[in-house]
Every structure is written in structure tokens, then in C-alpha cells.
Structure 1
Amino acid sequence: MLSYQHAYHAGNFADVHKHLTLYAVIDYLLRKKTAITYVDTHAGRGLYPLVAQETQRLQEYRQGIWPLWQARLGFTDELLNRWQAALTSAQPMPEALTHYPGSPWWLSHILREQDQLRLFELHPGEHEQLNAQGLSPHAQRVFGNGLTGLTAMLPVSSPRLCVLIDPSYERKVEYQEVAETVAYTLAKVRHGVVLIWYPLLPAGHHHTLLTALKESGVRKIWRSELLLRAPGEQAHGMYGSGMLVINPPWGLDQRLAAAMEKITPLLGAESYYQAEWWVEESQ
């Protein structure tokens, strides 16, 4: 099934949660000069014009990046300010929010000479759009399955590895597939940093992923969730966004908590943020 296109949801609250977390991780990794291989298993298009027909249909960015953009000059949080500055650099005109950058942009624009980026995309139309993006020459675009592509390239030649796994979860089996891929990846690259996004939906299928990872033997799993509202029987659609970070950089939890304290009031009166160690280093 290859019907999912992220353009319909570009810039929504889940993108804010996911890409701010990704940016905070990368910002820490770049403090060392040693080379990094980045892998994006479900890359999407790379850059999304907010005026696109797909994006305008749902306009989810209006309860996501839009209120943050309007409030950006009032932010005092260091991480938020740096992230917003990067977002501004992605705009054709700095004073106007007209595009939302997907993960290929967030990963590509920080690449150094010694780093590499592998972008996987299986949807033919999305891969065509990705190929049209002007990205770093160190970014390799691959038309194929990102989970099997990731396992096939392990171990990597660089000293460090950072992976973003962000499926659509159109198929319920993807939750288990992600858990198995992560366990294999960490067996090959023990200190790799792996980020996993998952949706919070009334059906609660994300618990399959969480339970499988807890039982896999993988350690140092930090979990955070950004919710627009509390889950309830009457809820429809995605009510929250989840992120897992395995081998998180030191201080990530405090930096994101401080940033989310500023963000959540802008997303609605019922929105809130929660975070915990899902699996600690030793149990």
C-alpha cells in the first residue's frame, strides 16, 4: 500500500515535535568532528510549499508550525531560537513562512564534508519529488524500502550513525517491522542514535512498537509525546505524536522539555507534553 503522501500533513504539530527533536539531536552530534552517516528511512519530498493543493486541503500546519512562526520573535529558549533560525533559512523570503522543510532538508543542510546521508523513499511520486530537490551532494537518494535498505548497509564505514525512522504506519505490521529493524541495527551498531516517530491514534497500535522494543533487549530508550488532547473514546484521528530516541545525547530531555514548555500553549488549551525513560541503560 503506497497511498500516503505527507504533503497533506506538512507542518502539523507532529512535524514540529519530530523535527525539533531531530534538530536537537543533530545539534549535539555536530559538536564532535568525527564523521556521521545519517539514514532517513521514509524521506518524503524534502520540501513542502504550504500553498500546494494537498497541503491546503487540510491546512494542518495552522495547528502546528504556523502559530510557532507567528510567535518566533518572542521566544527566549535557545533551542527554539536556533531551530526557528534554521526554518527561516529554508524560506525564499525570510519574512514569510511559505515552505515547510521535511526531514531530508533538516538532515541535508547540516552535512559536513566528512558526513553522508542516505534518503530512502518507496513511493514513486514522492521519490520523483525528492529527486527534484536541491540537496547536498553528500545526500544519496534511494528508491526503495528504507527498513530493508538500512539493514543492508550495516555496519556503516563512519564512526557514528544517526537514523530517523518515520513510517506512515498504513500497515499495522509496520510497528513490529520497525521494532525488529531497530533491534538489528543496534546489534550491528551498538552506539548508534536512532529516532523513531509514531502516531497516537485511538486504536493504540503504537503499543505494539513500544512493547516489542522493551522486550528486544535494546537499552537507553527515551520516549516523549506531544498531545493535542487527552486520549478518549470519542476521539477521532491522531491526537498526539510520539518520539523514541535510542542512545539520546546528554541533556536532550531537559532541552526539549524547556522548548516544549513554550510550544504547547500555542497549540491549543488542551495540549501538553510528557516524557520519560521507556527503557533505561540497565534494568
Structure 2
Amino acid sequence: MNYRHAFHAGNFADVHKHVVLLAILARLTRKPTPLFFLDTHAGRGLYDLHSEDASRGDEWREGIGRLHEAQPANPDLVAYLQAASATSEKTSRQFRQYAGSPLLALTALRATDRVVFVEQQPQEARALERALPRRRGVSVITGDGYASLKGYLPPKENRGLVLIDPPYEAADEFVALEKALRFGLERWPNGVFAAWYPIKLDGDYRRFHASLQQSGLRKLLLLEFHAKPVDSPMGLNGSGMLIANPPWQLDTAMREALGELLQLLSPDKTGSVRIEWLVGE
């Protein structure tokens, strides 16, 4: 596997993904009972935005860089920006590092919650271990993220979230993702699952949607953020989050949050937001 998330750390897709992630965890932690959080493709945890890899495209400047310079009003955006600021090194003018989903998630999770981060690349897993704060109940596993579903589900807590954010380097990644969702929800029917996917001109995500509509799975919510027109031929047009068993009224809350985020990250007004139930109850 040659993928390195450092190329894209802090870009609009990361911002979208992490806003949704923290919004879900905020709602799940409103109840006092412990949660289980599994991140199947965790990455290294902290990314240097001034490294050679990140500097190739400077994608973060159109994501966290632009949001940092704004003053969002929506509470979910404010919570995200506060978490990103707390976990990332920055100057008064710009971010120098950007935290990935593991560090951001830990800002929302409690000492009573159990957390497992899975990363397939040993070097990235070791970097994640170094980046994480010392804390009980948190494990870093070097291995196959999809295989971890069998080992950790259903969890003893019977409440919580599985984040699936693969690199989409393999041609059949959408097939593998659908298989993982089917398997995970069969083992843990009441678990919340959040799966990130890229939106490109090739339309693979549309075939993924169509297949899920025929899968028999229920309560699947789409939260899509399009930074530019979905038919643009230029690389990544949008970022998708498919949520299975979302917290109550997450769709309403994200309509407001992503609407404001669009105004901040797509000032030329060529982007759009799509929030709808792919499959209802």
C-alpha cells in the first residue's frame, strides 16, 4: 500500500469527515453509559502540514486553513474547530499540524469509553502510538481494519461507533466497504457505523449507493459535501459520509452545519450539500 494521508491532511474532505465524526460522538456521549469506538483505518494521528508530502498540493489551505480564518457560528463547527485547535500545533495565523480522527475522537470520548485504533501500516501505527496521549482503555492495533470487525464486534458495551475510512487505493474498495458494512451490521445491528467515501467523476460512489439500496440494510443516511460540481473532471469533487443507525435528528443538525461549512469552504458557490436518507427505516 503506497497511500499516505499526509498528501490530503486537513483538506475539505477531512474537515467534512471530522465535523460529522465529532457531531456523532457528541450525541452518543449525551448518555452516561460507556461507548465503544473502533477506527478501522486510523492513520498516524498527526500530520505535518509543512512536510514535503503535504506541501505538494497544499490542500489544507482550502480546508482547515480557510476555516481557521473564519468565525463559524454553528455549534458543531465551533466544536470541531476547538477540537482541531486543541490537538494540533498552530500559530496565530495558520495550522502547522493537523490531527487525524484518532486524536480528534479522543477529545469527545470519556475515560469510561473503550477505544481501538487499527492501522495496517506498521510505521503509521507506531507514529499513532507516539501521537496519542497516555490514557487507559485506548489500544492501537497493527492489522487489517476490515478483519478487526470480526474480532471486536459486537462490543460488550453494546453502544458506540465504528468509523471506516479506507484509502480507496484498491479498485474494489467500494465492494470491500459494502461487504464490511453488511458484516458489521449483521454482528452488531444497533451499532452506529460511519463510512467515508470519495466523490469523483467516475461515479463509483453511485454504484455503491445503488447496491446498498438493494442490500436489505435499513436506516442509511447520506451526508455529502461537494466542494465543486460533482461532474467536474478534476480529481476529488466531494466527500461522502454514509451513516448507518445515525443518532436522532443528525440529518437536521448536519443540514445546518454543512450549509454554513459550504459558505466558508466554497466561496465561489460552485459546491453543494446533499443530505438524504439512502434507505429509511
> Which has the higher mean CA deviation after the structures are superposed, 26-35 or 78-87?
78-87
Is this contact kept in 2: 1:39–1:119, CA < 8 A? yes
SS in 2 for 1:132: helix
Which ranges of structure 2 fall in alignment gaps of 5 or more residues?
A: none
Give the match for residue 193 of structure 2.
Answer: 194
Q: CA deviation at 1:98?
A: 2.0
Identity %: 35
Deviates more, 1:35-44 or 1:263-272: 263-272
Shift in alpha-carbon separation, 1:56–1:153, aligned structure 2, 3 A:
same
Q: Secondary structure at the match of 1:58?
A: coil
Of the three residues 74, 77, 101, the one matched with 1:80 is 77
Alpha-carbon shift at residue 36 of structure 1 (Å): 0.8
Partner of 1:90: 87
Is the 2:40–2:146 contact (alpha carbons within 8 Å) kept by the matching residues of 1?
yes
1:173 paired residue number? 172
The Cα shift of 1:94 comes to 7.0
Residue of structure 1 in register with 2:279 after alignment: 279
Q: Give 1:87 deviation, angstroms.
A: 1.6
1:59 deviates by 0.6
Q: How many residues align?
A: 277
Note if contact 1:176-1:208 (Cα within 8 Å) is conserved in structure 2: no
- Alignment counterpart, residue 129 of structure 1, candidates 123, 127, 130: 127
More deviation, 133-142/243-252: 133-142
Any stretches of 5+ residues in structure 1 without a counterpart? Answer: none
TM-score, scaled relative to structure 2: 0.93
Match of 1:159 in 2: 158
SS in 2 for 1:159: coil
Q: Equivalent residues in 2 for 1:25-104 (5 A)?
A: 25-72=24-71, 75-92=72-89, 95=92, 96-104=94-102
2:245 maps to a residue whose letter is N
What secondary structure is seen at the aligned counterpart in 1 of 2:131?
A: coil
* Cα distance change of structure 1 residues 4 and 93 upon mapping to structure 2, 3 Å threshold: closer
State yes or no: 1:145 paired with 2:108: no
Alignment deviations for residues 121-146 of structure 1 (CA, whole Å, 9 cap, x no partner)? 11232222212212333221111010
Q: TM-score, normalised by structure 1?
A: 0.93
Mark the CA change 1:152 to 1:212 in structure 2 (over 3 Å): closer, same or farther. farther
Amino acid at match of 1:88: S
Shift of 1:53: 1.8
1:224 Cα shift?
1.6
Paired amino acid for 2:278: W
Secondary structure of the 2:73 match is: coil
User: Alignment partner for residue 245 of structure 2, among 247, 252, 275?
Assistant: 247
1:258 equivalent in structure 2 = 256
